[in-house]
Amino acid sequence: MSAPLVDISSVSHRFGQHTVLKDVSLQIEPGSYTILLGPSGSGKTTLLSILGGFVTPSEGKVFIRGEDCTSVPPAKRPTTTVFQDYALFPHMSVGSNVGFGLRMQGVDGATRAGKAREALALVGLASAFDKKPHQLSGGQRQRVALARALVIEPAVLLLDEPLGALDLKLRRQMQDELKAIQKRVGTAFIHVTHDQEEAMALADHCVVMNDGRIEDEGPPERVYARPATRFSATFMGESTILAGTVTEAKDRTSTVATPVGPVSLPGALPVGFAVALAIRPEHLVLGEARGGVRLGTAEVSDVVFQGSFKRVLAVSVEDPSLHFIAKLPATATVQPGDRVAISCDTDQIILLTD
Amino acid sequence: MRRIVRIASWLYALAVYGFIFLPVIVLVLFSLQATSFPIPPFTGPSLRWYDAVLSDPRLTSALVNSLLVASISSLAAVTLGFLSAWGFARFVLPGSGLLRGLITLPLTVSYLIIGMGLLVLFNWAGVPKSLLAAGIGHVVINLPLCFAIIYSQMGDHQINIERAARDLGAPEWKVLLLITVPVMAPAIFAGFFLSMTFSWDEFVISFLLTRFDTTLPVEIWNLLRSGLNPKTNAVGSLVFAVSIVLVVFFELTLLRRKPA
């Protein structure tokens, strides 16, 4: 296995009294698309700033291509950043914006213009070369910022909530393009977002952050299907969370007592251990108890039609503090006030031990 | 009734503008007088007094001096003002608020006090009375102005633009020269032209700090001591015209908004 392209080693950072990153270690593989996903205040943007060289961490080291870059200024490290507000130079043409990095490297005018045109063609804006940034739409400015950052061929491209300022439709469209561009140029992208859909759509490697720590990381499919922590189970997609205690463990099967009755799970756990069981909305079965695990009865409190499916909220009759979130087909006929039996399959239950 | 109110408000507006502009109109009008006294009846128009001004070597050299002092001192004031505004806007300094207050404080001090202070200081330091001394005085009065104008236009948005330039490999002096200065150009030009305007017709400091070579307002004052004549009107009109041009430049650069 090759050495990681970026190696973040035990990085902590404080702003005054406030600790925003707590002993974070992360490795980025060459050519990967990494998403740092987390709510605001989770430290994801600070981590990106540390990678870009705008912030020097209080503790820990950052290696890029094996070199210690911890306190190397942005100008001298092989990273470029696409800023959330694009930060285009308003007094320069689009072509000069894209060529700026090459100009700083001392590349002559003709070569610069040629490369800038290529980069603009890559993002589908070949015709904008002579325009000024203010003549472009938000989505187009975004592409110019991308071309400007890519043209100097960085080892790592850092994107700070790049789609945050765009409307939903454009965001989904740019998302597909970002992925396509990344595959074409093969540069490692590190992209910060709080949008879990964006994360699932783009990431090869998804890093879920909360409160200055990495909660979970891995391929998005794995993070969604088998989240490592309770936070990850509720932030990357929704989950119904059942708190429980292990009461019995034998023959590689454990029994967990929950407010809605005992649940048997594969695997041996220490008796008396407090656990949480997470179930994804699409795995809950309402009505006729068909699943292997009975989860009691619940009263439907809300049904939201969302086009291709219905999102159903239900309150457990056995434990009114327990809220079920289920996803049913659009043709489902449940109404608020209905009392339904709830169940699911054993292998769809995610066991969380944090 | 409403008619009367309307007429009254028109009259009022006329009176206000008349009060402001009548002296200037009279000055300009009698600069075109054909005879030797700037009093009614008007005998012009004639350009003979302008001719007299432009062929007076004392006045023309004072005019050149004024332009030199104004442009060089404004350049110095705007450069220093820009650098201090950038420093305050981009770096966390201890006692930043207090220091910012101190840098703008000369705006509230009368030119007479500043001129006297500089006179005492230069005497003590052995700097002779000269155009240079007056120019330094003009930097003292205009630097706070340039600082205030430029600082007010430095927003947080430009921070990311500067960061982007650094990120793309620009050393700090190139960030300033290629990014910050062009982005701030409207405020920088506005500061420059306003400084020019103030320096151009500044009298007290120039009067206190110059001796043999002097600026136009001081020369005009010399001229006035020998009594009114249309030549003083003509040179005053010239001063006024230049001021107008500078103010127009100022307004064009600061008030013109680029499409966002």
Range A240-352 classified under CATH 3.30.1490.20? no
What is the overall mean pLDDT for chain A? 89
Give the pair of three-digit tokens for residue A283.
């795995």
pLDDT band at A2 (very low <50, low <70, confident <90, very high): low
Q: In terms of pLDDT, which residue wins out, A290 or B127?
A: B127
Specify the pairing of strand A309-316 against strand A293-305.
antiparallel
**Which pLDDT value is given to residue B90?**
86
- For residues A279-308, b (16+ Cβ closer than 10 Å) or e, as one string? bbbebbbbeebebebebbebebeebeeeee
**pLDDT tops 70 at residue B258:** no
**Which pLDDT value is given to residue B29?**
83
pLDDT band at A79 (very low <50, low <70, confident <90, very high): very high
Beginning with the edge strand found earlier in the chain, give each strand of the sheet holding A261-266 in spatial order. Answer: A261-266, A253-258, A240-250, A274-279, A350-352
Highest mean pLDDT among A239-248, A286-295, B228-237: A239-248
Structural domain includes residue B26: no
Q: Do A75 and B166 touch (CB under 8 A)?
A: yes
**pLDDT tops 70 at residue A237:** yes
pLDDT digits 0-9 by tens, A247-294: 888 778 888 888 888 888 887 788 888 888 899 988 888 877 666 788
Supply the DSSP symbol for B258: P
From the list B161, B171, B260, the residue facing A89 with the nearest CB is: B161
Number of separate domains in chain B = 1
From the list B160, B169, B179, the residue facing A75 with the nearest CB is: B169
**Which pLDDT value is given to residue A291?**
64
From the list B160, B169, B183, the residue facing A83 with the nearest CB is: B160
Q: Do A75 and B171 touch (CB under 8 A)?
A: yes
Give the pair of three-digit tokens for residue A148.
């400007």
Structural domain includes residue B9: no
- Domain map (residue ranges) of chain A: 6-235, 240-352
Å from B164 to nearest chain A CA?
Answer: 6
Q: Would you tell me which residues 178-197 of chain B have a C-beta closer than 8 angstroms to some C-beta of chain A?
A: 179, 182-183, 185
**pLDDT tops 70 at residue B260:** no
Contact (Cβ atoms closer than 8 angstroms) between residue A35 and residue A209: no
From the list B164, B169, B183, the residue facing A83 with the nearest CB is: B164
Structural domain includes residue B115: yes
**Which pLDDT value is given to residue A190?**
94
Q: Which residues of A touch B169 (CB under 8 A)?
A: 75-76, 101, 104-105, 152
Å from B181 to nearest chain A CA?
Answer: 10
For testing the chain A interface, which of B168, B176, B177, B178 should be mutated: the one with the most A CBs within 10 Å?
Answer: B168
Q: Do B168 and A104 touch (CB under 8 A)?
A: yes
Å from A39 to nearest chain B CA?
Answer: 22
**pLDDT tops 50 at residue A1:** no
The architecture of the domain spanning A6-235 is 3-Layer(aba) Sandwich (3.40)
From the list B166, B183, B259, the residue facing A134 with the nearest CB is: B259
- Chain B: residue nearest A79 by CA? B167
Contact (Cβ atoms closer than 8 angstroms) between residue A142 and residue A162: yes
- Chain A: residue nearest B160 by CA? A87
Q: Which residues of A touch B171 (CB under 8 A)?
A: 75
Å from B161 to nearest chain A CA?
Answer: 5
Q: What is the 3-state secondary structure (H, E, C) of A107-122?
A: CCHHHHHHHHHHHHHH
Which domain covers residue B95, as residue numbers?
56-255
Q: Which residues of A touch B179 (CB under 8 A)?
A: 89
Q: Do B167 and A52 touch (CB under 8 A)?
A: yes
Q: How far apart are CA B63 and CA A249, in angstroms?
A: 101
CA angle B103–B109–B114, rounded 5-degree value: 90
Q: Do A74 and B260 touch (CB under 8 A)?
A: no
Contact (Cβ atoms closer than 8 angstroms) between residue B105 and residue B144: yes
CATH code of residue B159: 1.10.3720.10
For residue A313, the one-letter residue type is L
pLDDT digits 0-9 by tens, B93-114: 888 889 988 888 888 888 899 9
pLDDT band at A346 (very low <50, low <70, confident <90, very high): confident
| B177 lies within 8 A of chain A by CB | no
For residue A330, the one-letter residue type is A
Kind plus residue range of the DSSP H or E element containing A80: strand A79-82
State the CB neighbour count (10 A cutoff) for residue A78: 16
| B156 lies within 8 A of chain A by CB | no
Q: Which residues of B touch A105 (CB under 8 A)?
A: 169
Structural domain includes residue B222: yes
Q: Per-residue pLDDT averaged across A321-336, rounded? A: 88
**Which pLDDT value is given to residue B222?**
86
Structural domain includes residue B145: yes
**Which pLDDT value is given to residue B78?**
95
Q: Which residues of A touch B167 (CB under 8 A)?
A: 52-54, 74-75, 79-81, 149
Q: How far apart are CA A125 and CA A147, in angstroms?
A: 9
**Which pLDDT value is given to residue B144?**
93
What is the overall mean pLDDT for chain B? 87
ipTM above 0.90, yes or no: no
Q: Do B160 and A101 touch (CB under 8 A)?
A: no
- H helices within A123-167, ranges in order? 138-150
**Which pLDDT value is given to residue A182?**
92
Q: Which residues of A touch B182 (CB under 8 A)?
A: 89, 91
Give the pair of three-digit tokens for residue B131.
């155009």
Closest CA to B181 of B194, B162, B163: B162
Q: In terms of pLDDT, which residue wins out, B39 or A71?
A: A71
Structural domain includes residue B7: no
**Which pLDDT value is given to residue A290?**
67
User: Between A and B, how many CB-CB pairs are < 8 A?
Assistant: 63
From the list B160, B163, B168, the residue facing A101 with the nearest CB is: B168
Q: Do A75 and B170 touch (CB under 8 A)?
A: yes
**Which pLDDT value is given to residue B259?**
42
Å from A34 to nearest chain B CA?
Answer: 20
Q: Per-residue pLDDT averaged across A200-205, rounded? A: 90
Beginning with the edge strand found earlier in the chain, give each strand of the sheet holding A33-37 in spatial order. Answer: A79-82, A156-160, A188-193, A33-37, A205-210, A213-218
Q: Do A87 and B163 touch (CB under 8 A)?
A: yes
| B258 lies within 8 A of chain A by CB | yes
% of chain A at pLDDT higher than 70:
99
- H helices within chain B, ranges in order? 2-31, 48-54, 57-90, 96-104, 111-125, 131-153, 157-167, 172-174, 181-183, 185-200, 204-209, 216-225, 230-255
Å from B187 to nearest chain A CA?
Answer: 14
- The DSSP result for A252-279, as a single string, is TEEEEEETTEEEEEES---TT-EEEEEE
Closest CA to A63 of A13, A1, A9: A9
Q: How far apart are CA A206 and CA A233, in angstroms?
A: 13
Q: How far apart are CA B248 and CA B242, in angstroms?
A: 10
| Maximum C-alpha span of chain A | 75
Q: In terms of pLDDT, which residue wins out, A313 or B157?
A: A313
Q: How far apart are CA A19 and CA A12, in angstroms?
A: 8
Contact (Cβ atoms closer than 8 angstroms) between residue A100 and residue B168: yes
